[in-house]
Amino acid sequence: MFLLVFPENVLIIIISLCNKEKTMKYDYIVVGSGLYGAIFAHEAKAKGKSVLVVDKRPNIAGNVYTEKQEGINVHMYGAHIFHTNDKRVWNYITQFAEFNRFTNSPVANYKGELYSMPFNMYTFNKMWGVVTPDEAAAKIEEQRKAAGITNPKNLEEQAISLVGTDIYEKLADERRIQTNNSILKTAQDMYNSVMNLL
Ligand SMILES: Cc1cc2nc3c(=O)[nH]c(=O)nc-3n(C[C@H](O)[C@H](O)[C@H](O)COP(=O)(O)OP(=O)(O)OC[C@H]3O[C@@H](n4cnc5c(N)ncnc54)[C@H](O)[C@@H]3O)c2cc1C
């Protein structure tokens, strides 16, 4: 497998040159050396195909690229956690790399109160003092009714239906979201990101 790094416009010229001069022939040209492109190229190569992988970034691996800094693998495009409950996927991916065990347990700081994120029973307990999922569901239902929501008509109403007004206002309202993740640039990005967690 070859990796060439070119800006987008140069790539088009390269492809035209390949066609014109007929000097380089590949069964496949893969644009992007991220997980998808790399795995496709690997599997195609294993089946005897020739593959040219091009990428506009100066590195392979796409978003999951890391650089070693002072002995630590730093995720250059944002932290990544790999999770799967599929043994076949796990066996496949671990042939390429060693993984560290990691439990993702972020905490939100709302005016000095710490809440577990994404929302779970610890969040509900801290917020309302409830202990069981049924009690949490009853509280959410109570807040949904109080907000007058029957069929959610927008993202905010959907969020309140799922987690209640308190959690929505304290932890998910776009005006209050803060993140250090440089990839999420706009408030809308952050809002979408958090809403996906609900
Ligand atoms: C901040 C962040 C955190 C994430 N966290 C997680 C996580 O914890 N767990 C998880 O499972 N997933 C996570 N993801 C998602 C994960 O990164 C992607 O699902 C996965 O990397 C996608 O792989 P891909 O090969 O499809 O695309 P990418 O990794 O995006 O690779 C695409 C490659 O194509 C190149 N490219 C694009 N257009 C062109 C072009 N025109 N010419 C040449 N090259 C081009 C790009 O430079 C890039 O290298 C996260 C994503 C981000 C942004």
What does the DSSP assignment read for 144-193?
A: HHHTT-SS--SHHHHHHHHHHHHHIIIII-GGG-----TT--SHHHHHHH
Pocket test for ligand 1, best of 8, 63, 75, 197 (most atoms within 8 A of CB): 63
Confidence of residue 178 (pLDDT cuts 50, 70, 90): very low
Confidence of residue 14 (pLDDT cuts 50, 70, 90): very low
pLDDT > 70 in the chain, percent: 75
pLDDT of residue 157: 86
Confidence of residue 132 (pLDDT cuts 50, 70, 90): very high
For tokens 């599929």, what's the residue?
86
Q: Could you count the other beta carbons within 10 Å of the beta carbon of residue 117?
A: 17
Residue 128 has pLDDT above 80, yes or no: yes
Q: Could you count the other beta carbons within 10 Å of the beta carbon of residue 38?
A: 21
Confidence of residue 85 (pLDDT cuts 50, 70, 90): very high
Strand ranges inside 12-165, DSSP E: 28-31, 51-55, 66-69, 72-75, 107-110, 113-116
State if residue 197 touches ligand 1 by the CB under 6 angstroms criterion: no
Ligand 1 geometric centre to CA of 177 (Å) = 23
Residue 170 has pLDDT above 90, yes or no: no
Q: What ligand 1 atom has the least distance to the C-alpha of 78?
A: 1
Mean of per-residue pLDDT scores for the chain: 81
Residue 198 has pLDDT above 80, yes or no: no
pTM of the model: 0.64
> Is 35:64 a contact under the CB 8 Å cutoff?
yes
Q: Any idea what DSSP says for residue 47?
A: T
Model pLDDT for residues 41-76, shown as the tens digit of each residue:
999 999 999 999 999 999 999 999 999 999 998 999
Q: Could you count the other beta carbons within 10 Å of the beta carbon of residue 73?
A: 11
Q: What ligand 1 atom has the least distance to the C-alpha of 83?
A: 11
Nearest CA to ligand 1 atom 33: 32
Q: What ligand 1 atom has the least distance to the C-alpha of 35?
A: 25
> Is 57:37 a contact under the CB 8 Å cutoff?
no
Confidence of residue 110 (pLDDT cuts 50, 70, 90): confident
Confidence of residue 10 (pLDDT cuts 50, 70, 90): very low
Nearest CA to ligand 1 atom 51: 63
Q: Could you count the other beta carbons within 10 Å of the beta carbon of residue 55?
A: 21
Q: Which of 44, 49, 38 lies closest to 97 in space, CA to CA?
A: 38
pLDDT of residue 173: 61
In 146-168, which positions are buried (b, 16+ CB within 10 angstroms) versus exposed (e)?
eeebeeeeeebbbbbbbbbbbbb
State if residue 52 touches ligand 1 by the CB under 6 angstroms criterion: no
pLDDT of residue 43: 97
